[in-house]
């Protein structure tokens, strides 16, 4: 069993080092994308990381919240990892997601569940998840977030509403949504890239979707033969209550909830404000 952990980071680099150390295992390789806007000394960061098991992508993108650049970054990580090896599983996390189990337990889980795809999903529209029209506005209208920014894209969306402009999901795909923090098989990753090679217009469509990374993977996978292997659980503990959303996990109740979550990772952490929770998790994962 070989696993690639794909990390999208833009800050909290001391925490990022802790995360990669906790994931160290001969059968786990780590690939990191660092936002081009991040102020970090890459050579120094590489020196502090385990260079044998960690690759920092030299192609650094300008990642914009809500834009296609997030999906583009995730696909870049998947592509770079796939070029290095045919991994059995690809697990996507952020640079503020902390492991909750040892790397040995992590590998054992996927050995026991070989062939299963782990991702959160729900059919769209889903007002209980995304309010309003249940997320349909995210793809039925053009959202040039990377080019215009999110605020101006909202104004452009409102203009399209007034002019009754609307578009449909390509190839009559049934739309699904969910978290982009997924753990999927190598076979599934190859299917996604084969699909994009045969249907390049798919990426053009998703380049104008709001938060496309939260629709793209679920829609492609749940409209394929891989749907029969999907487990609706991405093994992440995330608390969406309060602000900021998701919540920073820094209380005793967060520890209690993490302990009963049965998750592989928890988010979101900041090293300075989450010292109590992170100390607890570090001690739990000793000697890793």
CATH numbers and ranges of domains, the chain: 3-114+235-284 (3.90.550)
Cα–Cα distances (Å) from 148 to 65, 66, 112, 207, in that order, read 12, 11, 46, 13
Residue 83 to residue 87: CA distance in whole angstroms: 10
The DSSP output letter for 235 is -
How many C-alpha atoms does 72 have within 13 Å on its Cβ side? 21
Handedness of CA 36, 38, 42, 48 (dihedral sign): negative
What is the reported pLDDT for 288? 53
Which tens digit of pLDDT belongs to each residue from 32-61?
Answer: 999 999 999 999 998 899 778 999 999 999
Query: 83-98: per-residue pLDDT in tens?
Result: 999 999 999 999 999 9
- Sign of the C-alpha dihedral, residues 6, 217, 147, 154? negative
3-state helix, strand, coil in the chain (%, to 5): 45, 15, 40
Q: Given phi > 0 = left and psi -120 to 50 = alpha, else beta, which region is 229?
A: alpha
Q: What is the pLDDT of residues 197-223, one digit of tens each?
A: 999 999 999 999 999 999 999 999 999
pTM as predicted: 0.95
Task: Look up residue 9 and give its two tokens.
Answer: 């980071």
**Where residue 173 falls among pLDDT bands split at 50, 70, 90?**
very high
Lay out the sheet containing 236-238: strands in order across: 97-99, 265-267, 236-238
Euclidean distance between CA atoms 27 and 87, whole angstroms: 10
Instruction: For residue 165, name the pLDDT band (cuts at 50, 70, 90).
Output: confident
Of the chain, the percentage scoring pLDDT greater than 90 comes to 92
């Amino acid at each position: 069993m070989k696993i690639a952990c794909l990390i999208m980071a833009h800050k909290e680099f001391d925490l990022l080092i802790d995360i990669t150390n906790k994931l160290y295992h001969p059968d786990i390789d780590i690939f990191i994308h660092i936002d081009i806007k991040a102020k970090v000394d890459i050579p120094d960061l590489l020196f502090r990381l385990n260079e044998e098991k960690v690759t920092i992508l030299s192609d650094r993108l300008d990642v914009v919240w809500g834009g296609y650049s997030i999906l583009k970054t995730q696909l870049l990580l998947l592509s770079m990892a796939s070029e290095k090896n045919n991994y059995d599983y690809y697990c996507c996390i952020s640079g503020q997601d902390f492991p909750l189990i040892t790397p040995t337990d992590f590998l054992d889980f996927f050995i026991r569940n070989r062939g299963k795809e782990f991702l959160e999903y729900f059919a769209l529209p889903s007002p209980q998840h995304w309010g309003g029209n249940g997320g349909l506005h995210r793809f039925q209208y053009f959202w040039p977030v990377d080019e215009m920014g999110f605020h101006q894209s909202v104004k452009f969306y409102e203009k399209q509403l007034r002019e009754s402009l609307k578009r449909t999901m390509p190839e009559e795909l049934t739309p699904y949504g969910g978290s982009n923090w997924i753990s999927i098989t190598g076979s599934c990753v190859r299917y996604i890239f084969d699909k994009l090679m045969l249907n390049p217009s798919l990426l053009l469509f998703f380049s104008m979707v709001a938060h496309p990374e939260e629709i793209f993977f679920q829609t492609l996978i749940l409209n394929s033969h891989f749907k029969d292997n999907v487990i609706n659980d991405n093994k992440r503990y995330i608390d969406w209550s309060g602000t900021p959303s998701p919540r920073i996990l820094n209380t005793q109740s967060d520890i209690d909830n993490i302990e009963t979550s049965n998750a592989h990772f928890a988010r979101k952490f900041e090293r300075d404000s989450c010292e109590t929770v992170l100390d607890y998790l570090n001690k739990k994962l000793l000697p890793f």
